[in-house]
Structure 1
Amino acid sequence: MPSNTPLAGVKVIDLTRVYSGPYCAFLMAQAGAEVIKVEPTDGESVRKRHATGGAALPFAFLNANKRSVTCDFKTPEGLAMMERLIADADVLIENFRPGVLDRLGLGAERLSQINPQLIVARNSGYGQTGPYRDYLAMDLTVQAAVGIIDSTGFPGETPVKAGPAMTDFVAGTHLYGAIVTALWHRDRTGEILSPDISMMDTNLPTLMSNLAAAWANRDDPTFEARTGSRHGGMSLAPYNVYPAADGYVAIIAVAEHHWHATARALKREDMLTDPRFENLKTRCANMDAFDAELGRTTAQHTRDDLRHLLSDNGAICAPVMKLTEVLRDPHLHDRGLLHHVDHPEYGRMVLMQTPMRYAGVDPVSYLPSRRLGEDNDDILQGLGYSADDIAALRSKGVI
């Protein structure tokens, strides 16, 4: 990586799988760190999904700019190989169930012996402590456990999960922040911090408005957490998805002047003087009538017209875009977040760069995800293994 990248010179061993940990390691790679992804000899689970259309995209995205090695470190030879990899690394990232690395011979004490400067960053569903720590967890079940599913959907209907794998990516972003914080602290003080990032912990703050409503109604057994597309605390109006002539738009008024701008742009000044809608309190008290009236007006305009009409006049609005439209979004392509890639293994794809941008600094060059174990020989030679040693590891199924 270029020497002027933010994390140039940082070496990361990535033992993570699926989305959360790999996303953290991807962000580190895109910030200039050397990231070595270590997979089982048959590859991690997301790599194996490419049998169906489009399923290879997550692996290609999450593992760009990383090197790939395979290792069965349940074997003595594989464990020795891992110890050599770790010996000069700055960071080890893992998202196994708590205790797995200990059982494999890479517990905290042993890792400290191998490399006293190593930051061991752990990402799990419920954290390294607490009564849930040993439970298996994935995005869906964490959404259930933390209250996201209970707060998603419409009142009186079956709760549903949030559309995106949000708990994975929120946790992965927090993991990145924790690791960079630990690196800064190590370099400043010499003390080694060990991040313990829980998917449940990191996603609770996303429910802030919903939690406020739950707290206010904590003694009401009939409290309904689901508000559809309305504000989680039912304390803002407009705040909803409204019909357009060709789909839907989202409109929100955080402050009163946003609502006034919306009404004037839509030539609905009459709603400003309607006693049911004249202030935030009355609008919230008459939310059904308010949304219906506003929706009758928005339905007369296209999404694009509403975006410009409202946004250009100080209101807050965005069209509800289909995901197939988002893949072609000119703004995301102009910023370089989305870009077309001719992937050597998966073909033509639209993939993402890092969302972390710094004024005046270009993102690092994109390097496609590697084939399984593509860097085995190169990395092992760098660790002092001879060609015969590498052949022996391969013949034993260690790599």
Structure 2
Amino acid sequence: MADKAPFDEAGRWPLQGLKVLDMGQVYNGPYAGFLMAQAGADVIKIEPLEGEAIRARGSSGEVPLAHVMLNAGKRGIAINLKSDDGKALFLDLVDKADVLLENFAPGAMDRLGIGSDVLLKRNPRLIYGSSTGYGVWGEEKNNLAMDLTIQAYAGIMSTNGPADGPPLKAGLAVVDFLGGVHLYAALMTALYERSVTGKGRVVEVAMQETALTAQATSMTAMHLAGGAQPPRRGNNHPAGTSAPYNVYECTDGHVAIICVRDNHWQALARAMGRPEAATHPDFAESHARATNEARIDEMTEAWTRTLSKYEIARICKEQRVPAAPVRTLPEVAADQPLKTRRAMFDVDHRELGKVTVPGSPLRFHGSPEPEWVVNPLLGEHTGEILEEWLGVSGDIVDGLAAAGIVGVSE
């Protein structure tokens, strides 16, 4: 494959022409909508008149950067769904939509009178996607769900952290984003089926369930322990089957090194100036290294402490040993290769000023070059969307706004 940008300004986006109603909030649902918007869909972010909850999390009244990131490329409309007229407008939008996604608690949409049964009856081609903590049916559906609590309940925290410390959460909102990715996948799967059958359907994702397969290594460790809880192992391999597999101190920070195969270890031993360790019976094969993990770590860190993290990474790259410097977020934000691939953008945001924001990780060869399109202000496109989708004139929109049925940006 040629080592050049695979963009074509004359190309099309995979989801071009698709109409999506995004009722997502915080991270989970909005990330699925973000991926669709970055693939070319017309994603309409629907918010209550006061805005979705995450808008209130910013400091000094400014919009949080997370909201800016996850709603880039969408258009925005604000509707009072607790009013009859607002609900009627919403239903008219649903009639025109291909996809609706939401991540409310189970039953929230039904209580508003706009649940999936109602919407699919009006629009049988609609793909309705729901992401909840524990599913829309089942014994645990009414459990309150946030990323932290699901990390705890799904077992992630039980295996995360140092051996002599308490359980720790993953630093990322990992389950929120796993939920968003799987919701996107479920919606795409259902859209393919609709292209064959012409019929829509409901798809759902339970955040807890997205965390299960992601724990494959920890579940392997449990199996090796005869079904018992595996110990927390810090940065070492969760199942204790690979060494070196750790983060090591350097002169200016830390570096991560892992030797999956024996040839990795042989190359690393030579690079460290310890060629005898490559063939020593205590280290030559993977199971022997795992048994002697502490000695491996001591030997490796004695070497890494003499060099900088980037020097170690360079040496390991030359020797084909998997390794990487532990970079700070400012280092990542300044990374030029990420910007070359349009994975990061430096933008002058209308509310936040100069910020660095990520793009979509999905690359569609033959589509136009990705660009970053600013997130909508609350109700910024209300009039535009109502006129474009429903033929509602500007004067009527002004009246609806004055009556508290829709919101428009100032």
Return the TM-score normalized by structure 1. 0.95
Matches within 5 A, 1:59-78: 59-78=67-86
Unaligned runs of 5+ in 1: none
2:21 matched residue in structure 1: 13
1:349 counterpart residue number: 355
Q: Report deviation, 1:397.
A: 1.5
Match runs of 1:99-248 below 5 Å: 99-220=107-228, 223-248=229-254
Shift of 1:277: 1.7
Change (3 A) 1:363 1:168: farther
Q: Write the letter of the residue equivalent to 2:131.
A: N
Q: Distance in 1 between matches of 2:150 and 2:274?
A: 43
Q: Which moved more, 1:91-100 or 1:261-270?
A: 261-270
In the alignment, which residue of structure 2 is the partner of 1:254? 260
Q: Find the residue that maps to 1:195 and give its secondary structure.
A: strand
Secondary structure of the residue aligned to 1:236 is coil
Deviates more, 1:28-37 or 1:370-379: 370-379
Distance 1:2 1:20 in 2: 33
Residues 42 and 169 (structure 1 numbering): CA distance in 2 closer, same or farther, change over 3 Å?
Answer: same
Q: What RMSD, in angstroms, separates the aligned Cα atoms of the two structures?
A: 1.8
Give how far 1:334 is off.
2.0
Q: Match for 1:389 among 375, 396, 407?
A: 396
Residues 295-332 of structure 1 show CA distances to partners (whole Å, capped at 9, x for unaligned) of: 10111111111111011111110001111211112221
Q: 2:344 aligns with which of 338, 342, 350?
A: 338
What SS does structure 2 have at the residue aligned with 1:278? coil
Residue 148 of structure 1 and its aligned partner are, at CA, apart by 1.1
CA distance in 2, matches of 1:333, 1:391: 41
CA distance in 2, matches of 1:151, 1:184: 38
Which residue does 1:291 correspond to in 2?
297
The residue aligned with 2:105 is 97
Moved more, 388-397 or 13-22: 388-397
Shift of 1:36: 0.3
Instruction: Tell me if 1:35 matches 2:39.
Output: no
Q: Which moved more, 1:388-397 or 1:341-350?
A: 388-397
Fraction of identical pairs, as percent = 39
Mark the CA change 1:288 to 1:96 in structure 2 (over 3 Å): closer, same or farther.
same
**Structure 1 residue 192 displacement after superposition:** 2.5
What is the CA deviation profile of residues 267-317 of structure 1, one whole-angstrom value per residue up to 9, with x for unaligned ones? 221222333223222211121121111110111111111111011111110
Alignment match of 2:93 (pick from 77, 81, 85):
85
Read off the aligned partner of 1:84 and give its amino acid letter: D
Question: How big is the shift at 1:189?
Answer: 2.3
Q: Secondary structure at the match of 2:200?
A: coil
Q: 1:265 aligns with which of 267, 271, 275?
A: 271
Distance of 1:387 and 1:324 partners within structure 2? 45
> Which segment is superposed worse, 43-52 or 56-65?
43-52
The answer as to whether partners of 2:34 and 2:70 remain within 8 angstroms in 1 is: yes
CA distance in 2, matches of 1:379, 1:318: 47
**TM, length-normalised to structure 2:** 0.93
SS at match of 1:12: strand
Query: 5+ unaligned residues in a row in structure 2: which ranges?
Result: 1-8
Q: Is contact 1:12-1:92 (8 Å) kept?
A: yes
Question: How far does the alpha carbon of each residue in 1:148-194 deviate from its partner, in whole angstroms, 9 at most, with x for none?
Answer: 11111011211111011111111111111111111111002224232
Q: Which of 314, 317, 331 is matched with 1:308 structurally?
A: 314
Q: Deviations over 1:20-59 (max 9, x none)?
A: 1101100100000000000010111222223259962111
Contact 1:92 1:120 in 2 (8 A): yes
2:6 aligns with none
Contact 1:30 1:363 in 2 (8 A): no
Runs of 4+ in 1 over 6 A off after TM superposition: none
Pairwise CA distance, 1:253: 1.2
State the distance in 2 between where 1:296 and 1:168 align. Answer: 39
Which whole-Å CA distance do the structure 2 matches of 1:207 and 1:54 have between them? 37
Count of aligned positions: 397
Output one character per residue of 1:239-262: Cα deviation in whole Å (capped at 9) or x when no partner: 111111111111111111111111
Note closer, same or farther for the CA distance 1:52–1:320 as it changes in structure 2 (3 Å cut). farther
Matched residues in 1 for 2:70 and 2:219: separation? 32
Give the corresponding residue for 1:51.
59
